[in-house]
Amino acid sequence: MKTNDIENIIRKKIRVGIVQDIVLILISLVGGLVVLFLTYWLIYGIIWISLGYLLPVEDYVGYMSTGILILLFIGNLRTSREYLTEYSFSTGTASDKIVSCYIPGVGMGSTINPLAPDSARSYIKIITDLLYIGPRIITWGTRKFNRIFHLIRLDIPGCAGVVSVLNTADGRVSFIEIAERLGDLNLNKIFNDLRYVDIVIFLSNDPPGLTLKSKFLAEIKLFNHQNKGFSE
């Protein structure tokens, strides 16, 4: 396959990727705004019920709710999702095993002690994680702009050159070998660019290098088949 053909395939993948990212951005922004709207009024209601009688002006409740929303965005950026999903509960019995049961006339119950420090922290994490849903969706969508920016500035000829080397090889090609064959290119930028398109797999075990994804190899075969049929 010629390098120009590989460039055309990469350009097509870039166009498809940009369109998909724009759609995802619109969906995330609309969905995130809906969640933020509900979160705002939930916070507003809690503040009004708990502190409304202390606030002389109703606008203060709105200002406080908006301020809390801003803090949720800041907290979401500064807090690891893994931290929020690590829970620890203490039981109110001699056994550490948590048991849930149905109590007739009462409902579901368990042996968790909600007043224990680790249990309380876990409940706070759960509530915080739920409040972060809106900011998390918005943040995820805005990060797609960064991907679009990189796709637009992609070094297509350089990426096609690396892919051409991989396509002629049988499996993995080390970074050293790629540098020896394409040393005149800005390989640091090209390797980073390749992370934004679904083309290669970065291999970290010795010798570190690249290999083409099976999905992309299938696209190349399909392209060759279509061109062969067209030329005939």
* C-beta separation of 154 from 18 below 8 A: no
Q: Express each pLDDT in 163-211 by its tens digit.
A: 999 888 877 889 999 998 887 889 899 999 999 988 899 988 888 999 9
Q: What is the DSSP string of 48-64?
A: HHHHGGG-SSTHHHHHH
Q: Express each pLDDT in 69-120 by its tens digit.
A: 999 999 999 888 888 777 666 655 444 555 454 444 434 445 555 556 666 7
The CA-CA-CA angle for residues 115, 98, 133, to 5°, reads 65
Res. 19: pLDDT tops 90: yes
| Interatomic CA distance for residues 223 and 228, integer angstroms | 8
Span(s) in the chain for CATH 1.10.10.10: 154-227
What does the pLDDT read at residue 134? 93
The reply to whether the predicted model has a pTM over 0.85 is: no
| Percentage of the chain exceeding pLDDT 90 | 34
Q: Phi first, then psi: give them for residue 91, nearest 5 degrees.
A: -95, 160
| Interatomic CA distance for residues 89 and 181, integer angstroms | 58
Q: What is the CATH number of domain 154-227?
A: 1.10.10.10
**DSSP β-bridge partners for residue 109:** 101
* C-beta separation of 145 from 86 below 8 A: no
